[in-house]
Amino acid sequence: MGNTKSLEVLAAGPLTTVQDIGRYGFGKYGVPSSGALDTFSLRVANLLVGNPEGEAGLEITLTGLRAKALVDLCLAVTGGDLQPHCNDAPLSMWQSHVIRRGDVVHFKGPRQGCRAYLAIGGGIDVASFMGSKSTNLGSRFGGLQGRPLRKGDVLNATEPHEHLAKAGLALRPSVIPRYSEEWRLRVLFGPQHDEFNKKGRRRFLHCPFEVKTQSDRTGIRLSGPLIERKEGLPESIISEGVVSGTVQVPGDAQPIIILVETVTGGYRKIATVISADIPLLGQVKPGDQVMFQAVSLEKALEALERTEQIIGMLKG
């Protein structure tokens, strides 16, 4: 009922997937959250087109998506600036638009950030697994048949015409996140910071790290000065649960920021990125520079409250 073919994929680019805000509560089955890396941007995009904030949208990595509207749609693009266009005209981000039947939305490539989020008024109608529509690429379920989008795919939306009146909603410019190629990520030390030597802990906070090309939705791999564990400690620890944003340091002493496709890990974690900065991890791309800054739990929660206030403003 009311389920309408909304968008046809003409080209998918290197990696475009269906993601919502994640699959939570199934860690004991080894099921990671998956979901949008930059949940802030996806939530905003959804609210701009009149969807519930947790609805599924498209996560577009770096470039390449071309998609044709099959009916009139209300649509918003947020997140990294991948130069979205509608036909030949640039499409302004962080606001919703009416896209007419036959219009082609496409992305020319990254100017800022790494991933754009496209929300369609009426959402993306795919099956939900364990309460989420997110694509789990490693285990091939969720999203569109558990795989990235490809040419010829057709996405369905629920009653898209009912969302057309939402077009024109915009996020206040002063609260639109700015992305650069030099990141300052706020962290809380722990859980195993005390198992690294002093030099390692100092370097972690005072030296820049470069993002390696082997970074993907499972983790951001960094290269920089060695973050060494205390002498006499074994390379790995007994496997334990991990969350996205935690910074693990394997035997080669080069940190990896864990993202959303992992539930357990067997290496020490020196620190964990604060919740308010987690969405930024989705915009970090290979070649960027990352520095870590330690903050208090109070500061972390203040920052999270500010983020939620912005979302709250859109919810009205």
Which residue ranges make up the site for other proteins (CB under 8 A)?
A: 24-32, 129-130, 136, 138-139, 141-142, 187-188, 190-192, 238-243, 245-246, 263-264, 269, 272-275, 297, 300-301, 304-305, 308
Cβ at position 98, least distance to other proteins in Å? 35
Angle, nearest 10°, between helix axes 297-315 and 39-48?
A: 20
Closest CA to 244 of 231, 258, 234, 225: 258
Q: Which is nearer to other proteins, 76 or 187 (CB)?
A: 187
Measured from the CB atom, the residue of 8 and 195 that comes closer to other proteins is: 195
Q: Please state the closest distance from residue 241 (CB atom) to other proteins, in A.
A: 3
What angle (nearest 5°) sits at the alpha carbon of residue 94, between those of residues 93 and 96? 90
Closer Cβ to other proteins, 96 or 275, answer by number: 275
Cβ of residue 129: shortest distance to other proteins, in angstroms?
Answer: 5
Shortest Å distance, C-beta 24 to other proteins: 5
Q: How far is the CB of 198 from other proteins (least distance, A)?
A: 19
- State which residue, 56 or 82, has the beta carbon closest to other proteins: 56
In contact, 2 and 159? CB cutoff 8 Å: yes
| Backbone phi, psi, residue 64, to 5° | 95, -20
Q: Which residue has the tokens 């300052």?
A: 184
Alpha-carbon dihedral angle through residues 290, 14, 84, 171, given to the nearest 10 degrees: -50
Nearest to 134 by CA among 18, 233, 246: 18
Do the beta carbons of residue 132 and residue 57 sit within 8 Å? no
**In whole angstroms, how close is the CB of 308 to other proteins at the nearest point?**
7
Which CB, 41 or 135, lies closer to other proteins?
Answer: 135
Which one, 28 or 152, has the nearer CB to other proteins? 28
In this structure, the dihedral spanned by the alpha carbons of residues 62, 25, 123 and 64, taken in order and rounded to 10 degrees, is: 10
What 3-state DSSP class applies to 173? Answer: helix
d(CA 55, CA 46): 7
